[in-house]
Amino acid sequence: MLEAFWISTRLRISYRVNGILFWLKRIPLLGKLLPAAPYQISGLKRFALVLAVIWELLTFFLGKLAYLCLFFLPAISFYREKIGMDLDLTAAFQHIFLFLTLAGAFAWNHFVVSDANSHYAVFLLGMDAKRYALSNYLYFLFKTAVGFAGVIALGYCLLPDELQLSAVWIPLLPLLVISAKLVAAAGDNALFHKTGRNLSDPSLQKIDLGIPLLLIALAYGLPLLGWTIPSIVLYLLTGLLALLAMPSALYLFRFRDYRRIYQTYPYKVATAGDIQKTEQENLQKKLVLKASSNKTGCAYFNELFFQRHRKLLQRPAQFVALFIGFALLALFLATKVDSELAEGLGSRVPMVLPGLPMLMYWINRGQKTTQILFFNCDHSMLSYRFYRQPSVILPLFWARLRMLIRINLLPATVMAVGLPLLMLLCGGAEHTVDYLILPVAILALSVFFSTHYLVLYYLLQPYTAGLETKNPTYTFTTLATYFACYQGAQALGEHISSLLFGLICIGFSLLYVVVALVLVHRLAPRTFRLRQ
């Protein structure tokens, strides 16, 4: 098993080194200084190898640190500062950790992962599937345990006394995580042994998503009602899962159908044959789909595309809008039951403005829509010269922008109407102008994100035929967008009033949209092309 782990690790590092060299070649200015074949330069390969090893070591802790900072600290801060609840922060932390751990055991187990590394190792190099799966999973559990222990120890030393982290949590919480994952992995393999399907099967998607979503709702929803899991329950459940983890680990070592799992859920490498097959399937859909429009030119082309892919494009936004509507209704009903929650809620609603950029970032469909546009249309049409002409690119961009704005305005409008209405029904806003600034800021941010992702798509066009992102500038820009929404907006919101923050969001969105549209008109005819 050690030999299998060593081979798979070398394969993973080599794959990462090649990816780093590829990214270096695609970085503006720097890429022009490098030769056409950077893989042949031994010094550059050694540099990429050092970066790959450093990154592998950093993954022990960076992911866990980001996990705790993104999913715990904002929620606990929200409970205490924004709502004004008298909540025990230690109890809230362990409550959220327990439920998120159980959700992650179902949805993000990382046991048998069908990715490029497993495809190369098991099918191309002929490695033993059982040894490959077990050795990599043990390494994953080791990274998980060390990472959580290190991050929790750091929190024990650095976090204020108000959180009151106990030293016993340093070994206890990593034990809870790896025990839950082992039990879930054994259950998933037992399900595959009995039925030939595991939770990654599309037919079981409702279960695979439903259970984690329910657990996540309990993680954050119960503290809103002032109830958290007692510490004794956390200790007992950790002990129970640790006991169940031992027979679960034994079952995983005795399980023999690992290769059949990889064969049942293979890693799909996009080839020309796959693309041709997709085009043929799409052609059959065209023959049976009744789509019509009275528009002409590029607007007609885009309208037919939208009608044909309405379920992919619009239905997720409809689900999000329904969820937001039900959440606002549930919050309103909760205020009727709990008078303490209702007291002054109307004046506190504008306080959510600093969190709006992050919320709109998550619910916006811009990035997913550009993937749908590329895979179902542009990856074929960009091979034709006429499709790359400014007379086609620019009118089609405008038609798509209007379509994307309409899609994203659906959940945004529900929020823009629901939040002011909630303010009005729960005591009223502190300032009358809040009734105007809040909805306009929500709509402006929706238009901003719609424009942002479509403009990035036309200026950088990052996708290959397999929907892999091969443009480091695009990846960096999307990451910068995330951190600007999370860190920048929160930091700015702490130093200025909610009213001023809303005005800044509106002004920035308008300015950004104007500049972005000018850049598209000047650059898109040269940048919107196929990536090899």
**pLDDT tens across 150-168, in order?**
888 887 777 655 566 677 8
| Predicted confidence (pLDDT) at residue 503 exceeds the cutoff of 70 | yes
What average pLDDT does the segment 430-453 reach?
88
* CA–CA separation, 287 and 283 (whole Å): 6
* CA–CA separation, 268 and 450 (whole Å): 30
Query: Any long-range contacts for 306-313 (C-beta under 8 Å, 24+ apart)?
Result: 306/403, 309/372, 309/376, 312/372, 312/376, 313/365, 313/369, 313/372, 313/403, 313/407
CB-count burial class (<10 Å; 0-12, 13-18, 19+) for 469: middle
Q: What is the pLDDT of residue 292?
A: 60
- Under 8 Å CB-to-CB from 277, ≥6 apart: which residues? none
Which of these, 68, 62, 74, lies nearest to 104 by C-alpha position? 68
Q: Quote the Cα angle for 310-316-318, to 5°.
A: 85
How far CA 211 is from CA of 326, 383, 462, in Å, comes to 19, 43, 34
Packed helices 310-337 and 390-425: angle between N→C axes, nearest 10 degrees: 10
| Predicted confidence (pLDDT) at residue 402 exceeds the cutoff of 60 | yes
Radius of gyration in angstroms for the set of CA atoms belonging to the chain, rounded to a whole number: 26
More confident residue, 38 or 190: 190
Distance from the first to the final alpha carbon of the chain = 37
* CA–CA separation, 141 and 111 (whole Å): 10
* CA–CA separation, 112 and 192 (whole Å): 12
* CA–CA separation, 95 and 222 (whole Å): 9
Is 342:427 a contact under the CB 8 Å cutoff? yes
More confident residue, 443 or 40: 443
DSSP label of 463: B
What average pLDDT does the segment 326-343 reach?
73
Q: How does pLDDT run across 123-150, given as a tens digit for each residue?
A: 877 888 888 888 888 989 999 999 999 8
What phi and psi, each to the nearest 5 degrees, are found at residue 463? -90, 145
Q: How does pLDDT run across 9-31, given as a tens digit for each residue?
A: 888 888 788 777 777 776 766 66
Q: How does pLDDT run across 288-297, given as a tens digit for each residue?
A: 345 566 677 7
User: Quick check: helix, strand or coil at residue 469?
Assistant: strand
- Under 8 Å CB-to-CB from 287, ≥6 apart: which residues? none
- What is the token pair recorded at 265? 């859920």
Which of these, 191, 192, 215, 230, lies nearest to 95 by C-alpha position? 230
Global pTM? 0.62
DSSP label of 465: T
226 conformational bin, left if phi > 0, alpha if psi -120 to 50, beta if neither = left
- What is the token pair recorded at 5? 């782990």
Cα 345 from chain centre: 31
Q: What is the pLDDT of residue 497?
A: 76
More confident residue, 89 or 183: 183
Is 188:109 a contact under the CB 8 Å cutoff? yes
Q: How does pLDDT run across 48-74, given as a tens digit for each residue?
A: 888 888 888 888 888 888 888 778 877
* CA–CA separation, 339 and 216 (whole Å): 26
Provide the pLDDT confidence category of residue 275 given band limits of 50, 70 and 90.
very low
What average pLDDT does the segment 217-236 reach?
84
Sign of CA pseudo-dihedral 461, 462, 464, 466: negative
* CA–CA separation, 292 and 301 (whole Å): 10
Q: Name residue 252's amino acid.
A: L
- Under 8 Å CB-to-CB from 529, ≥6 apart: which residues? 382, 388, 461
Provide the pLDDT confidence category of residue 208 given band limits of 50, 70 and 90.
low
Q: What is the pLDDT of residue 374?
A: 87
- Average pLDDT over the chain, rounded to whole? 80
Is 121:197 a contact under the CB 8 Å cutoff? no
Q: What is the pLDDT of residue 30?
A: 67
| Predicted confidence (pLDDT) at residue 361 exceeds the cutoff of 70 | yes
Alpha helix (H) ranges present in 27-128?
30-33, 42-58, 62-71, 73-77, 89-107, 116-118
How far CA 119 is from CA of 124, 188, 285, in Å, comes to 7, 21, 31
Q: How does pLDDT run across 182-195, given as a tens digit for each residue?
A: 999 998 888 888 88
* CA–CA separation, 234 and 176 (whole Å): 9
